[in-house]
Amino acid sequence: MRSKTWDLLLPLFFHMSDQSRSVAEASRGALLAAATLLEWEELRRLLKTRQMWRVAECLLERSRKRAQGYLDQSLRYLQDAQVPLQEAAVRFIGELLGSPSWSPPLHP
């Protein structure tokens, strides 16, 4: 259950930028519930205080090994029909590539 929850964090984060206010708020609520399930107090605090771009930093700081997965998930959102979701993905990718947690995969 926890592994599946981790996989949902970034899509929920992106959908907080959804054009539909109800979808954006539902995504924030679901992300808050996920943070509670994962016992991740810093993420809960940032969501409660609506520090949304600190949430991106928090996701990146928490797990170095998830950086490649985050990049893969982000790239899919570059093709989304909603411009705000595309923009959220671009900003997140910029954060990711500038993050000390990012190291490109090694190819033989």
Question: For residue range 13-36, what is the model confidence (pLDDT) as tens digits?
Answer: 999 999 999 999 999 999 999 999
Q: Which of 47-56, 78-87, 91-100 is predicted most confidently? A: 78-87
pTM here is 0.86
Structure tokens at 30: 């679901």
Q: Does the pLDDT at position 63 exceed 80? A: no
Rg (CA), the chain: 13
Note the pLDDT of residue 75. 96
Q: Does the pLDDT at position 107 exceed 50? A: no
Q: Would you mind telling me the total number of residues written for the chain in this entry?
A: 108
Structure tokens at 49: 């205080």
Note the pLDDT of residue 90. 95
Looking at every residue in the chain, the average pLDDT score rounds to 89
Structure tokens at 81: 């029909």
Cα(95)–Cα(97) distance, integer angstroms: 6
User: In this structure, are residues 50 and 13 in contact, taking their beta carbons and an 8 Å threshold?
Assistant: no
